[in-house]
Amino acid sequence: MAEKAILFDATRCIACRACQVACKQWNGLSGESTRNLGTYENPPDLSAQTWVKMRFVESTEGGAPAWTFVRQACMHCTDAACVRVCPTKALAHHELGMVTYDPSECSGCGYCVDFCPFHTPRAGRNLVSGMGKMAKCTMCTSPGLDRIGAGYQPACVKTCPTGALSFADRADLVAEGTARVQALRAQGRANASLYGENELDGLHVLYVLNDSPEAFGLPANPRVPATAMAWKGALQPVGWALGGLAIVGLALNFVIARRAKFSQEAAAKRRK
């Protein structure tokens, strides 16, 4: 079957955030208790209860204000670090290309949280034990809540009033996105770009941007961390074979958990 994808066209987005609400409604995720932190953006970050959120970025362009809106959610990579490192196969590729997630298989190791090049999966994890189940966008393929299998669009796409989100065969969306980018360049947006066509062997969430990916806070060359490659390619099989290596695993876990803690603290600092 042809691979599917979501196309997010930032030039059509009005940041109404109906996608955020529709996602919570369909997936039964609860509203978070939040504060106004001096911005329209909320909740402050993705979480186990918030799988998609819009980032609001203010800037100035030629003396006038500019306001860009960026979707932040799982990119459903073809070369997916999370799938590589997941020891229990809770994370896997769907035949249509998206990265599915089965929480009943999740051991709560949290490696996916740490290795994702887009910093997307989140777990309410205990940073000492490292345990706590992950949660992320499944492109509406979660067991029991599978809209795609039932022939529907993902909930976020269905609710989008302006057509900023669309869901279709990936090849068609690449063509559409390319045409949109060409049109934007013709209108004078020289840096307009289609993001996700080739990144990580192709994302299943494509972005039409009227500027460079960096201007929207997206990494120009996302890569799967080398340690993830090593983990999946060498260490993990050995680990399965030799239970004794669990000690190594624990040590590694400790390092990773520390790294996660530091990076979270750094992120919190940046927000301030």
Partner 1 sequence: MTNHWTDIGNADVILIMGSNAAENHPISFHWVTKAMEKGATLIHVDPRFTRTSARANIWAPIRSGTDIAFLGGMIKYIVEDIEKNPQNYNMEYLREYTNAGWLIDAKYGFNDGLFSGYDAASRSYKDKTSWQYQKDAKGIPVQDKTFSDPSCVFQLLKRHYARYDMNTVSRVTGTPQASLLKVYQAFAASGRPDRAGTILYAMGTTQHTVGSQNVRAYSVIQLLLANIGIAGGGINALRGESNVQGATDHALLYQYIPGYLPTPSTAQPTLAKYLEAITPKTSDPRSGNWKQHQPKYMVSMLKAWYGSAATKDNEFAYQLIPKVQAGANYSFIALFEAMEKGTIKGALVWGQNPAVGGPNGNAERKALEKLDWLVDVDLWETETAAFWKRPGADPKTIDTEVFLLPAAASYEKEGSVTNSGRLAQWRYKAIEPPGEAEDDLWIVSHLMDTVRALYAGEGGPNAAAVTKVTWDYGGVPDPSKVAKEINGYDLATGKLVANFLSLKDDGSTSCGNWLFSGSHTESGNMMARRDPKDNSTIGLYSNWAWCWPVNRRIIYNRASVDLNGNPFDPKRPVVKWDAANKKWTGDVIDGFGTTGPTLYPFIMLADGVGHLFGVGGMADGPFPEHYEPWETPARNLLSSTQLNPAAKVWRPQEQGTPDKYPYVGTTYRVTEHWQAGAMTRNLPWLAELMPEMFVEIGEELASAKGIRSGDRVVVESARGQVSAVAVVTKRLMPLTVDGRVTYTVGLPWHYGYMGLIKGDSANLLTPYIGDANTTIPEYKAFLVNVRRA
Contact residues: partner 1, CB under 8 A: 11-12, 14-18, 20-21, 24-25, 30-40, 42-43, 58-60, 64-69, 161-163, 183
From CA 116, how far away is CA 80, in angstroms rounded?
8
CB of 22 to partner 1, least distance (A): 9
Which conformational region is residue 28 in: left (phi greater than 0), alpha (psi within -120 to 50 degrees), or beta? left
CB of 123 to partner 1, least distance (A): 19
Widest pairwise Cα distance in the chain: 63
For 37, 151, 164, 219, 240, the CA distances from 227, given in Å and listed in that order, are 36, 38, 36, 19, 17
Amino acid identity, residue 164? A
Rounded Cα distance between 147 and 254, Å, is: 38
CB of residue 180 vs partner 1: minimum separation in angstroms? 9
Q: Which is nearer to partner 1, 183 or 234 (CB)?
A: 183
CB closer to partner 1 out of 15 and 77 = 15
Q: Which of 213, 215, 175, 207 is nearest to 10 (CA)?
A: 207
Phi and psi angles of residue 50, each rounded to the nearest 5 degrees, phi first:
-130, 105
- The nearer residue to partner 1, 68 or 253, going by C-beta atoms, is 68
- Length of the chain, please? 272
Chain-centre distance for alpha carbon 262: 21
Answer for the pair 101, 134: CB distance below 8 angstroms, yes or no: yes
Handedness of CA 55, 267, 24, 122 (dihedral sign): positive
Q: Write down the least CB distance from residue 12 to partner 1, Å.
A: 5
Nearest distance from residue 217's CB to partner 1, in Å?
Answer: 16
Least distance (Å) between residue 31 CB and partner 1: 3
Q: Of 102 and 172, which CB lies nearer to partner 1 in the complex structure?
A: 172
Smallest gap, in angstroms, from Cβ of residue 192 to partner 1? 14
Tokens of 221: 């060359």
Nearer to partner 1, 33 or 221 (CB): 33
* For partner 1, the closer CB: 34 or 88: 34
Q: Which is nearer to partner 1, 40 or 254 (CB)?
A: 40
